[in-house]
């Protein structure tokens, strides 16, 4: 079970952004609470259409995005928008209509590709709201809990993490999964492997060497890769 923690400052920034701009994009790592924040913001609104672009049913609705979206009014939330970057070109056309019947809230992972695409396609029409884990103020000053569990809601709020050791161990594993996943998504074509499989070794090898000289020669042997790739 998990309790939610209110994030009024982010809600205020989100509301202000949608008043100024036709499109607001919330960027942040997975599991930092983007979808939860969007649903909290939409609670008091009735004119909301929520589309999860990892849901095949919602993706099917956007098979012809212009035909589907131009009929709507109010607010459209597109979750995991990085999975369908071509829809941004359609949003540019819809955001230029006057009067403006529709605004958009986009949720996506903070990847350079998404930011570049959104900045290029939606220039002058979009505001970015960067989001991370809980800050100390949102954690109500519980510095010890924030330090040992981390700021991601799934671990910070989980009731089963009653002990410091259990909570910190699970949070650290989640932290490593996030690093390895980010490595694979940011560097898909690196010589060390197309899927980022060598990322754990690259991160762990320097930390496992104590009081010894570690050269590129030994590094490439640990990675089982040519020395040029290690460099």
| Range 169-175 contact pairs with CB under 8 angstroms and sequence separation of 24 or more | 174/31, 174/150, 175/150
State pLDDT tens for residues 49-99: 999 999 999 999 999 999 999 999 999 999 999 889 889 999 999 999 999
CATH number listed for the domain at residues 8-130: 3.40.50.300
Domain boundaries, the chain: 8-130, 141-186, 191-231
pLDDT at 186: 55
Degrees to nearest 5, angle at CA 82 with 80 and 87: 100
pLDDT at 134: 81
């Amino acid at each position: 079970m998990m309790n939610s923690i209110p994030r009024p400052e982010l809600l205020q920034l989100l509301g202000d952004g949608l008043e100024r701009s036709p499109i607001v994009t919330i960027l942040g790592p997975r599991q930092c609470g983007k979808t939860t924040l969007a649903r909290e913001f939409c609670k008091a609104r009735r004119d909301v259409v929520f589309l999860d672009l990892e849901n095949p049913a919602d993706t099917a609705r956007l098979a012809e995005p212009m035909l589907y979206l131009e009929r709507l009014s109010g607010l459209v939330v597109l979750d995991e928008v990085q999975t369908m970057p071509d829809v941004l070109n359609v949003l540019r056309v819809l955001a230029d209509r006057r009067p403006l019947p529709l605004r958009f809230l986009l949720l996506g992972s903070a990847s350079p590709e998404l930011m570049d695409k959104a900045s290029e396609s939606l220039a002058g029409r979009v505001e970015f709201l960067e989001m991370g884990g809980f800050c100390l103020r949102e954690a109500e000053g519980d510095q010890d809990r924030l330090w040992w569990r981390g700021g991601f809601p799934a671990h910070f709020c989980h009731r089963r993490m009653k002990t410091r050791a259990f909570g910190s161990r699970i949070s650290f594993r989640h932290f490593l999964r996030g690093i390895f996943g980010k490595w694979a998504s940011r560097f898909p074509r690196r010589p060390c492997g197309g899927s980022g499989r060598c990322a754990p070794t690259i991160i762990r090898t320097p930390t496992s060497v104590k009081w010894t000289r570690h050269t590129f020669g030994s590094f490439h042997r640990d990675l089982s890769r040519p020395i040029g790739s290690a460099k």
